[in-house]
């Protein structure tokens, strides 16, 4: 036996010091391999729509209702099934309504508790008892375990189980017990959650989504462009901070920063009121919904313009100090002709609708005024000292990455940069060229340095600028367009200048050779593998399909964000992968949590099977299964070492 292997086995022996303990673990792991694989839930492009997100999370994109149908079949009416499903999604809120409407509450408790116990048995059936036990709510763990391990054929215990439920009702614990069971069903129906990017921007509650994800039992995140710009802002990168503030102002979401994160925006408001007091801000309209207080409109427009002008300056500074980014075509402040009121963009001259820029020096347009510099330093400190924001971004780094390989699926938010022939584009990153998987890896490495590095400040600054680059570069794997026309959309009426052309990746999504090349680049076999992608909304209204290349590539952004729903015609796609196969779920627009509870309405509207497994997939067929098999092999080597006397049992 090699010395290194012996050293490892001796370390393993500390955990399993006897033949009996090692043998028991082998038996346990071998048994787990033969359980059905857990259900994976894929969501993307949440864009702060926390109520919609919470509902989809609670119903498991129809998984809860599916379990109810499986368990009760025709023994429950459709109305009763809808009522039970709504109770599972929103137990506290639904109980309040039932308490007011139900005349025979004890009978309702009894029926409901029995039904919930049945559905809990079903959703827990694919897990080991140990895993279920860990998921049980502490207050009711013993009682729930007794009830869900009941066997109908054990007649002698029928009275025992009935008495448990009777006593729960009698001592006034029925409501708490119902809530505990409902939350357990939600917990067990989905084994693992994938968020394929863009938690932030546009919608009102990205911070609420982040709080929810931090409490979720098993999750990974693939960073989207809107996530990475917030990550850059939290690291202190000034252009990212200005971008986050501008978008929050544009979508009337400054309260996310003020109330959600406690970031003081009074300095920005004061600066905007003073500097832009007599400035035309008409082109900086606010996109607001019905709950926006329009008394703030004039100030918000001033803040919007103030931070936008700062953003354009700061972006110019990044582009000039990082010529290797190759983004000189986005330097536009110096292309303005104030006399003729025009600007030159990509060789074309366009009329400008606004030249009222009190802080721009035409001789040095990218220089911040002293007041702007002071403001941005105060904001930088506020972002970096915001404990809640820092916690959320650390969570994104801990649970996230630019891509993930999971159970033969390649997950990424945007694209893999390729040319028109499907070849990987070589991208200059600080003097060295990278393409394909290597490009993803080096960009992620620099992003992590930008947030975490404390020793090499030069590398930290490079990493922070890379986060801005990932947000906006044509060569970024999470942007995927030839340019970001923010400046043009504000200042040029000619919509020809607003066009952002998607990169070649999006024109080659049905090219099998390109999709196969990408899968192979990331180490996946072509057969039985998929790419799961978000970022670009699927316009169902125009006949687009989320399934590309015969289902090998799945684009599951269908419009969670309300801003996209008129364009897409739906309210988002989600994906479910379980032991039977994969199915896409197209969602109807979500009205509100209150409407879902009151009307007992659900929002999944259409299921499309992507793939049906010829044989049911088991844990042995998953990445976890591969790890368990390796553990079994090592334990069997330990067992052999014990029996040969190479390693001596302890405590025998």
Q: Closest Cα to residue 523, out of 403, 358, 644, 426?
A: 403
Asked if residue 573 lies in contact with residue 538, where contact means CB atoms within 8 angstroms, the answer is yes
Tokens linked to 97 = 């309504």
Computed on alpha carbons and rounded to an integer, the radius of gyration of the chain in Å comes to 28
Asked if residue 572 lies in contact with residue 540, where contact means CB atoms within 8 angstroms, the answer is no
Asked if residue 209 lies in contact with residue 141, where contact means CB atoms within 8 angstroms, the answer is no
DSSP strand E in 440-548: where?
530-533, 547-548
**Low-confidence spans in the chain with pLDDT less than 50:** 568-570
**Full DSSP string of 280-324:** --TTS-----TT--GGGHHHHHHHHHHHHHHHHHHHHHHHHH-GG
* ∠ Cα 302 291 230 (to 5°): 60
pTM listed for this prediction: 0.93
- Assign residue 407 a region (left: φ > 0; alpha: ψ between -120 and 50; beta: otherwise): left
Biggest distance spanned by C-alpha atoms of the chain? 95
Give residue-wise pLDDT tens across range 535-548: 887 766 667 788 89
Burial label, 618 (beta-carbon count in 10 A; 0-12, 13-18, 19+): middle
**What pLDDT, on a 0 to 100 scale, did the predictor assign at position 557?**
81
Q: List CB contacts of 325: < 8 A, sequence separation 6 or more.
A: 318, 319, 465, 469, 473
Q: Give the residue carrying structure tokens 């963009």.
A: 345
Phi, psi of 608 (to 5 degrees): -125, 120
**What pLDDT, on a 0 to 100 scale, did the predictor assign at position 153?**
57
**What pLDDT, on a 0 to 100 scale, did the predictor assign at position 603?**
61
**What pLDDT, on a 0 to 100 scale, did the predictor assign at position 568?**
47
Helices then strands, counting H and E runs in the chain, come out as: 27, 17
Asked if residue 540 lies in contact with residue 568, where contact means CB atoms within 8 angstroms, the answer is yes
**What pLDDT, on a 0 to 100 scale, did the predictor assign at position 596?**
76
- Torsion angle of alpha carbons 577, 583, 586, 591, nearest 10°? -40
**What pLDDT, on a 0 to 100 scale, did the predictor assign at position 538?**
74
Q: Closest Cα to residue 17, out of 572, 639, 506?
A: 639
Helices 174-189 and 105-124: crossing angle in degrees, nearest 10, is: 20
Q: Which helix (H) or strand (E) holds 350?
A: strand 348-351
**573 DSSP β-pair partners:** 586
**What pLDDT, on a 0 to 100 scale, did the predictor assign at position 402?**
98
**What pLDDT, on a 0 to 100 scale, did the predictor assign at position 283?**
94
């Amino acid at each position: 036996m090699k010395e290194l292997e012996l050293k490892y086995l001796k370390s393993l022996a500390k955990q399993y010091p006897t033949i009996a303990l090692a043998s028991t673990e082998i038996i346990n792991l071998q048994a787990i391999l033969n359980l059905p694989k857990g259900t994976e839930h894929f969501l993307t492009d949440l864009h702060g729509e926390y109520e919609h997100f919470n509902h989809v999370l609670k119903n498991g994109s129809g998984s809860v209702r599916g379990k109810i149908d499986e368990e009760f079949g025709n023994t429950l009416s459709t109305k009763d099934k809808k009522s039970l499903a709504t109770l599972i999604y929103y137990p506290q809120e639904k109980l309040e309504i039932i308490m007011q409407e139900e005349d025979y509450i004890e009978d309702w408790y009894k029926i409901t508790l029995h039904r919930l116990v049945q559905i809990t048995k079903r959703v827990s059936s694919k897990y080991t008892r140990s895993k279920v036990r860990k998921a049980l709510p502490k207050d009711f763990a013993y009682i729930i375990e007794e009830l869900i391990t009941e066997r109908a054929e054990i007649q002698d215990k029928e009275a025992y189980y009935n008495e448990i439920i009777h006593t729960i009702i009698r001592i006034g614990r029925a409501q708490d017990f119902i809530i505990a069971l409902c939350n357990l069903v939600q917990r067990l129906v989905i084994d693992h959650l994938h968020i394929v990017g863009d938690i932030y921007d546009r919608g009102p509650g990205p911070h609420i989504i982040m709080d929810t994800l931090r409490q979720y039992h098993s999750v990974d995140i693939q960073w989207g462009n809107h996530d990475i710009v917030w990550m850059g802002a939290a690291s202190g990168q000034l252009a990212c901070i200005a971008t986050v503030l501008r978008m929050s102002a544009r979508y009337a979401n400054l309260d996310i920063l003020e109330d959600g994160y406690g970031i003081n925006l009074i300095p920005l408001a004061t600066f905007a009121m003073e500097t832009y007091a007599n400035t035309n801000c008409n082109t900086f309209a606010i996109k607001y919904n019905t709950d926006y207080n329009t008394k703030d409109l004039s100030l918000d427009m001033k803040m919007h313009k103030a931070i936008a002008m700062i953003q354009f300056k700061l972006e110019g500074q990044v582009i000039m100090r990082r010529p290797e980014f190759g983004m000189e075509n986005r330097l536009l402040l110096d292309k303005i002709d104030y006399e003729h009121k025009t600007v030159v963009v990509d060789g074309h001259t366009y009329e400008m609708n606004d030249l009222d820029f009190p802080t721009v020096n035409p001789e040095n347009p990218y220089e911040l005024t002293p007041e702007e510099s002071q403001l941005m330093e105060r904001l930088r400190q506020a972002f970096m000292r915001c404990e809640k924001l820092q916690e959320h971004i650390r969570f994104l780094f801990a649970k996230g990455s630019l891509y993930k390989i999971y159970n033969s699926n390649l997950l990424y938010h945007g694209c893999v940069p390729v040319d028109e022939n499907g070849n990987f584009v070589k991208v200059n990153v600080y003097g060295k060229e990278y393409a394909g998987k290597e490009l993803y890896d080096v960009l992620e490495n620099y992003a992590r340095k930008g947030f975490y590095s404390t020793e090499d400040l030069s590398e930290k600054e490079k990493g922070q600028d890379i986060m801005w680059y990932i947000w906006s570069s044509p060569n970024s794997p999470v942007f995927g367009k030839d340019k970001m026309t923010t400046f043009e959309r504000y200042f040029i009426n000619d919509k020809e200048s607003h066009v952002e052309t998607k990169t070649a990746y999006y024109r080659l999504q049905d090219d099998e050779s390109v999709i196969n090349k990408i899968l192979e680049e990331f180490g996946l076999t072509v057969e039985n593998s998929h790419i799961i992608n978000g970022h670009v909304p699927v316009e169902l209204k125009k006949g687009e399909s989320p399934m590309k290349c015969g289902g090998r590539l799945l684009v599951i952004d269908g419009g969670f964000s309300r801003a996209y729903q008129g364009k897409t015609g739906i309210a988002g796609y989600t994906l479910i992968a379980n032991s039977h196969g994969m199915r896409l779920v197209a969602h109807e627009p979500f009205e509100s949590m209150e409407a879902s509870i009151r009307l007992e309405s659900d929002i999944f509207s259409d299921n499309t099977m992507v793939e049906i497994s010829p044989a049911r997939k088991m844990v042995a067929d998953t990445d976890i299964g591969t790890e368990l098999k390796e553990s079994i092999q090592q334990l069997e080597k330990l067992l052999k070492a014990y029996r040969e006397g190479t390693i001596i049992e302890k405590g025998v």
